[in-house]
Amino acid sequence: MPINEHGMNSDYVSYFPIEEYVAKIDLTPELLDHLELTSNEFDKYMNKLGEYNREHIVEYWIYLLYRELESSHHIENREFCAKSIVENGVFFEHMAINHKRIHELHNFVTSGYMEPTFNYRNVPVNVSHINSDGTEDIFWRGVNPEDVSRFMRDFIKVYKQNKIALLYSNPFLVSSLMHLLFVRIHPYTDGNGRTSRVIHNIKFTEAINRLYGMKLKISPLNLSESILLNKITYNKRINQIYFDLDHDTNDAINAWFDFILDMADEQIYRASNMLKKIPRRFLISQEEALNGSKGLGKVLKGHSGK
């Protein structure tokens, strides 16, 4: 099996069951310690949000969503049109994922430079960097074109799993896993990174809703701003992971999860500091906080992010 200069498999990936791939992942004690710390800080952040009225928090999250989309486009050196999120309500409909929904999300993030499509790619694709002299450094190749549909059927099957195992139930882990699987399948000729980061946020929000008993339709935490500042490491962590059943890259997968937790730590810190700058008139009263009529405090009481 040929190996390229980056140490990765230079062949196109043939089909294998994704559930078997996920079943081989073993979370390390160090990662679990980091996960506990991040979850505790996220709990504090969510409870802090309970001090503000619901209408302002929605506006605050929409603002964060603008920044998320803008940063995500900049990661792939694309322009961002802020008004498109107003014109297209794709983020505010539902949390469900299916093939049609994935195509809609992809069409949204690639609007303006790619023709809309409701099909996965049927041509080979490389994930690479073009050097100034015109040469191409290939990091990895997307899966075989003829296998994309089967991989995506598996992806959706894994996405919809409601297992109690930590990898499937913890918001940080399960969203990071979906992000990784999608970007390694690479089901489109372009726009896979942005689509994977949107799917990451949807899965994170769905898991948060289940954990906290909420009905959010906008992610309360967005990572692309931090990923943009750590783009080299982001690409490196993905590049180091084999996407097959033949190699043991468990350490590399744990390093990917740890990197995403680092990005979450940064954004929780930034978001918490931003809350301190919100005028006090947006704070809810103690009575409102107790009865939960306008704030988020009541639904957050007694819930752990672990």
Segment 65-78, tens digit of pLDDT: 888 989 999 998 88
Asked if residue 193 is part of any domain, the answer here is yes
Distance (Å, whole) CA 35 – CA 53:
29
Which residues span the domain enclosing 192? 18-23+54-278
Asked if residue 204 is part of any domain, the answer here is yes
Are 6 and 239 in contact by the 8 Å Cβ rule? The answer is: yes
CATH of the domain at 149: 1.10.3290.10
pLDDT tens track for 27-59: 999 999 999 999 999 999 998 888 887 777 877
Residue with tokens 């994922």, as numbered in its chain: 97
Question: Is the pLDDT at 79 greater than 50, yes or no?
Answer: yes
Asked if residue 48 is part of any domain, the answer here is no
Range of lowest pLDDT (33-42, 45-54, 93-102, 170-179): 45-54
Q: How many residues comprise the chain?
A: 306
**Which of the two residues, 298 and 233, has the higher pLDDT score?**
233
Range of lowest pLDDT (16-25, 135-144, 282-291): 282-291
Q: Locate 287 and state its tokens.
A: 């009575």
Residue 218 region by backbone torsions, left for phi larger than 0, else alpha for psi between -120 and 50, else beta: beta
Asked if residue 252 is part of any domain, the answer here is yes
Asked if residue 291 is part of any domain, the answer here is no
Per-residue confidence band for 112, with pLDDT thresholds at 50, 70 and 90: confident
- Give residue 200's identity as a one-letter amino acid code: H
- Mean pLDDT of the chain, nearest integer: 85
Q: How many domains does the chain have?
A: 1
**Rounded mean pLDDT, 97-102:** 96
Asked if residue 293 is part of any domain, the answer here is no
**Rounded mean pLDDT, 213-232:** 92
Tell me the backbone φ, ψ of residue 278, rounded to 5 degrees. -75, 130
Q: What are 129's strand-pairing partners?
A: 137
Write down the pLDDT at residue 278: 62
